[in-house]
């Protein structure tokens, strides 16, 4: 539809992007003539249409050049032709199937069919990587021996999509995180390698085997516990941090979402600054004598409320006027 504006979707093409509609239209071929005639009458369609004619008219109405999506396809076609013209694709012999494979990947992009990563991509690696044959050989041996599903996860981790391009159409660049330039850099690199005190051949074999195990673990962890260069699933790896920190489980296993919002989690323990709950024991029940005394006190209070209220003298500091101290001095004289 992109390369040919007059193209109309066929029933087989409909199966690829709209399986429910394909099943519905294809099921009409199994209908009885009387049932199909009733269906045409119910839909208000021409009763003289055959099953094939009705299917073609439905596809043209929904996906044809004059359909409701026709103007949308024209807009997509105009934007695509600004990048590369349709005539240029025709001159190189590229058809719609080739273009679909380039954009969406081949037929085995998401299936269980195995493939070799180093054969699908054009590899561009740093000289430090290619010059170290044990590292390069172990890397490709590890990656190409992944399970098919793991390979697709690795492709998604590296490229951002899990589809495979056409063979040799995309680059896969391998960069070394550290490049040794000076003599000191090379000396540091050598000191970082595992050391062995056995025979030369046995030491090399042990180092290569250890390198393979290390690469397999690092790559698998990166693919399984990340999504496109970023660690997103903190809940999946929070147990690792607990083991490394050695702290209390209740203090360590705190939901990451609470940390991002600045809210306390339900599993957090109260800090020392929190008010201490009242743990005092309830007072014992009062005896019969105490209850009688309380009854007498209540009765006296009721009687006193009927009498006039006694005058209460003010506090001592409120009974003096501003100049009372002068009168006291005169009396003393």
Of the ranges 32-46, 172-186, 200-214, the best mean pLDDT one? 32-46
Q: How far apart are the first and last CA of the chain?
A: 123
Q: Return all residues near 219 (Cβ < 8 A) that are at least 6 apart.
A: 142, 143, 154
Q: Which of 166, 184, 189, 55 is nearest to 109 (CA)?
A: 166
* Domain residue ranges in the chain: 11-104, 117-224, 237-265
Is 280 in a helix, a strand, or coil? coil
CA 234 – CA 145 distance, rounded (Å)? 28
CA 203 – CA 156 distance, rounded (Å)? 36
- Per-residue pLDDT, 142: 92
Q: What is the pLDDT of residues 215-228, one digit of tens each?
A: 899 888 888 887 65
- Looking at per-residue confidence, does 20 or 8 come out higher? 20
Using CA atoms, how far residue 82 sits from 75, 76, 77, 297, in Å, is 11, 10, 9, 101
pLDDT confidence of 237, banded at 50, 70, 90? very low
Q: Return all residues near 124 (Cβ < 8 A) that are at least 6 apart.
A: 171, 172, 173, 174
Q: What is the pLDDT of residues 115-129, one digit of tens each?
A: 888 888 999 988 888
- Per-residue pLDDT, 253: 40
Radius of gyration of the chain (CA): 43
- Whether 118 and 151 have beta carbons less than 8 Å apart is answered as no
Is 237 in a helix, a strand, or coil? helix
Q: DSSP secondary structure string, 175-232?
A: --S----SHHHHHHHHHHS----S-HHHHHHHHHHHHHHHHHHHHHHHHHS-SSSS--
CA 133 – CA 211 distance, rounded (Å)? 12
Is 27 in a helix, a strand, or coil? helix
Percent of the chain with pLDDT over 70: 58
- Per-residue pLDDT, 179: 66
Q: Return all residues near 89 (Cβ < 8 A) that are at least 6 apart.
A: 3, 99
CA 4 – CA 13 distance, rounded (Å)? 15
**Any idea which fold 117-224 has?**
Hect, E3 ligase catalytic fold (3.30.2410)
Q: What is the pLDDT of residues 201-218, one digit of tens each?
A: 444 567 778 888 888 998
């Amino acid at each position: 539809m992109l390369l040919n504006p007059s193209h109309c979707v066929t029933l087989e093409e409909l199966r690829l992007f709209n399986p429910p509609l394909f099943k519905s239209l294809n099921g009409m071929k199994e209908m009885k003539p009387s049932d199909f005639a009733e269906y045409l009458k119910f839909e208000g369609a021409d009763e003289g249409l055959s099953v094939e004619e009705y299917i073609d008219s439905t596809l043209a109405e929904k996906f044809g050049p004059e359909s409701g999506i026709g103007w949308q396809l024209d807009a997509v076609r105009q934007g695509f032709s600004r990048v590369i013209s349709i005539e240029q694709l025709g001159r190189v012999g590229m058809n719609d199937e080739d273009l679909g494979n380039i954009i969406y990947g081949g037929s085995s992009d998401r299936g269980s069919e195995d493939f070799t990563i180093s054969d699908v991509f054009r590899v561009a690696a740093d000289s430090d990587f290619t010059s170290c044959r044990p590292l390069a050989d172990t890397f490709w041996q590890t990656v190409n021996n992944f399970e098919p599903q793991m390979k697709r996860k690795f492709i998604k981790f590296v490229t951002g999509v899990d589809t495979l391009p056409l063979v040799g159409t995309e680059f896969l660049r391998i960069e070394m995180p550290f490049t040794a330039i000076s003599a000191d850099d090379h000396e540091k690199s050598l000191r970082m390698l595992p050391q062995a005190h056995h025979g030369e051949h046995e030491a090399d074999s042990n180092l290569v085997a250890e390198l393979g195990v290390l690469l397999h673990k690092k790559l698998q962890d990166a693919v399984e516990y990340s999504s496109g260069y970023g660690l997103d699933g903190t809940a999946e790896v929070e147990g690792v941090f607990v083991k490394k920190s050695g702290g209390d489980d209740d203090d360590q296993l705190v939901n990451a979402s609470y940390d991002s919002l600045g809210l306390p989690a339900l599993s957090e323990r109260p800090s020392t600054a929190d008010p201490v709950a009242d743990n005092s024991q309830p007072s014992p029940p009062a005896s019969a004598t105490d209850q009688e005394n309380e009854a007498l006190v209540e009765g006296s209070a009721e009687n006193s409320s009927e009498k006039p209220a006694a005058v209460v003298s003010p506090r001592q500091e409120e009974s003096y006027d501003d100049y009372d101290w002068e009168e006291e001095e005169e009396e003393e004289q």
